[in-house]
Amino acid sequence: MKKFVNDPKNFVPDMLHGLAVANPDSLKYVPEYNLIYRADAPKADKVSIIQGSGSGHEPAHVMAVGPGMLDAACPGDVFSAPPFDYVYETIKLLASPKGVLLLVNNYTGDRMVFQMAEEAAQADGITVRTLFIDDDVAVQDSLYTIGRRGVAGNFFVMKAVGAAAEAGADLDELIRIGEKVNSVTRTMGIALTACTPPAKGSPLFELGDDEIEVGVGIHGEPGRRREKIASADALVEEMFTAVVNDLPFQAGDRVAIMANGLGGTPISELYLAYGLAHDLAVAKGLVVERSYVGEYCTSLDMAGASITLIKLDDEIAELLAAPAAIPIRVF
């Protein structure tokens, strides 16, 4: 294993320590619960938005905490749902009179933990609701999921409800917006390599030197099929077609396109892939209004990418364009 890691058991806390000391003014860190939250949260006049999940998907979700996005994230260990008390304590700490919204990508383990924590917090008198995200078109069920998985399209839900919450929307309104965004967002990914969890120390699955996994999950779980590596044209067309045909997106639709890296693929290749997806969208008659190129939801050091399309209307376009301020930046 070739990684920047000390004791693999402490990989997540060591990462969160780095995140906390890099953002001393804007973030607070509670090591006991892997909890990263906005220094100014909770606010009495704003719904608090929390997302937990396993770690290994960074920047999702701990690096998406800040004004206009999440109020807090409480990740579990790598590829493991957070324990019940992480979520329950986070809800209690972030409780606002306007309520708490939990965003949960649709994985069985995460669903279970968040629903238990939601019920426990409600029993304490906290107003809290949960919104599930399931944008991955690759497979209907999976190793860890009943129904579709939540993957990189999750970013658009966070961004939209984050912007609306900042503008004062109440909990019902955020649920409406989040469900609407999720309903028009579709993603599919391809793995070029496996990923290596620090505590395992070796690749999570075997993939031949010339093999790829089409429709891979963000924990390396199987997708639609294995096949031989192909040209970027073929790979991007496979992802784009699966996504477009699923909603389906139709000529005249306003869209944003995301080319998301899975952790080990450089931004040069992501822009190349974005360009091909963009050209396919234009050829299909879609109106491309916004672009997203980079890493949004990763799978540790996996090489690969996913393509996400979201159908825009005026409301969604405005929420996506609203300002936000999170740790990820280049200047």
Name the residues annotated as catalytic.
Answer: 57, 219
Q: How far is the CB of 237 from a second copy (least distance, A)?
A: 11
Q: How far is the CB of 116 from a second copy (least distance, A)?
A: 27
Q: How far is the CB of 141 from a second copy (least distance, A)?
A: 28
Choice between 55 and 128, CB closer to a second copy: 55
Choice between 139 and 192, CB closer to a second copy: 192
Contacts of 33 (CB under 8 A, 6+ apart): 74, 82, 85, 86, 89, 90
Choice between 247 and 324, CB closer to a second copy: 324
Q: How far is the CB of 284 from a second copy (least distance, A)?
A: 14
Choice between 20 and 120, CB closer to a second copy: 20
Choice between 126 and 265, CB closer to a second copy: 265
Q: How far is the CB of 300 from a second copy (least distance, A)?
A: 6
